[in-house]
Amino acid sequence: MSKSSSASSPMDCIENAATALADATNTMNANIEREADALAKATERMKLKASELEAKEAHWLELERRVQANLADAPKMVTLNVGGSLFTTSKETLLRVEGSYFHAMLGSGHWKPDYGNAYFLDLHDPMFDRVLTFLCTNKLWLDGLTKFEETELRTSMKYLQLACPFALSWNISACSHRTDLSNGMQTATRTKLNRSYIGSVSGTEPVTSFDVCLDEIGLNHYVVLSARSSYPPVGNGCNHGFFVRVYDGYKSSHVISDDQPCFDFVFAHGDIVTVRVANGNEVHFDKNGEDLGIAFKVADPTVVPLNPVVIMYNPGSVTLIP
């Protein structure tokens, strides 16, 4: 066999290369077509999704427009029939909390007043005045309520979609001997003088600020922020914290052990004392809303928030202010 008959000719090589190139081109074109088709479908899905979102946005904008129109058309004074008792208040008061039941009642257009031009609410009417007070002040007053009444009030708040504010109270589990708690665990009272016992109580939660009213004060009464989670103190002065002795304005970091002048006046019966942490590590005391300046620097900011505490060596009474 001749050499030329056993090997591919140049023309055969060219034809084979052309065939391979054509196959590769066809494969590439097919891949491009598939990718283009997938991209086109994805684009259509995105357009459809965008169209759906635009439709939803238009729907919500229309709802919002109708709600605002209904709220604007609602009378300035609104009467509510709460369990048979009538309450009249301003529309502005009822709409103070965004997203509440009252927003839906006045804004949806689906509720209409009943007999006597009053909206009926099937709630516990003796507690409803406190709901209105909350809407006006953003404070939920629990003074004088039984456990049942407090439960009814909180149930009404939940039904009306009004979030109950956090209510700090004294912790009966961190309350010393001869310290009585009352007024829904808001008031701590020491009634008898007994130097064998230190009257003290800690709050239920750590905080960065709290307010107390000095109902009755005596010698060696302290208002405190403490890193300890429980009280009463043990012995004399072994508990670390940030103290102000209210009868003379002295401050200390341990009970009795290192009292030093801080404020050039005394606190009196009825004064509101605020203890707060500012700027992450500065402990301030306020008197009746007046900032008295930096009293302490917190060496370890990781201990913040701190526990509210009162310590009474003599008869007296203090009340947490919500």
pLDDT above 80 (res 165):
no
**Residue 100 DSSP SS3:** coil
Question: Any idea which of 41-50, 175-184, 300-309 has the lowest mean pLDDT?
Answer: 300-309
Strand partners, 316: 190
Instruction: Extract the tokens encoding 59.
Output: 């729907």
Scanning the chain, the segments in alpha helix (DSSP H) are: 3-6, 10-73, 91-94, 101-107, 128-137, 147-159
Give the residue with greater pLDDT, 232 vs 311: 311
pLDDT digits (tens, 9 = 90+) for 168-204: 889 888 888 788 999 888 999 988 766 666 788 989 8
pTM of the predicted structure, to 2 decimals: 0.51
Instruction: Extract the tokens encoding 36.
Output: 């283009």
pLDDT digits (tens, 9 = 90+) for 207-257: 888 899 999 987 788 888 887 654 555 444 446 788 888 888 888 777 666
225 contacts: CB under 8 Å, gap ≥ 6: 210, 241, 242, 275, 277, 283, 306, 307, 308, 309
Per-residue pLDDT band at 321 (split at 50, 70, 90): confident
**Under a CB-based contact definition with an 8 Å cutoff, are residues 296 and 210 in contact?**
no
Angstrom distance (rounded) from CA 68 to CA 317: 49
Angstrom distance (rounded) from CA 102 to CA 270: 37
**Single-letter residue type at 285:** F
Instruction: Average the pLDDT over 54-71 and give the result.
Output: 82
Angstrom distance (rounded) from CA 288 to CA 75: 39
**Under a CB-based contact definition with an 8 Å cutoff, are residues 82 and 123 in contact?**
yes
Order across the sheet with 316-320: list the strands.
180-182, 187-190, 316-320, 209-216, 272-278, 282-287, 290-297
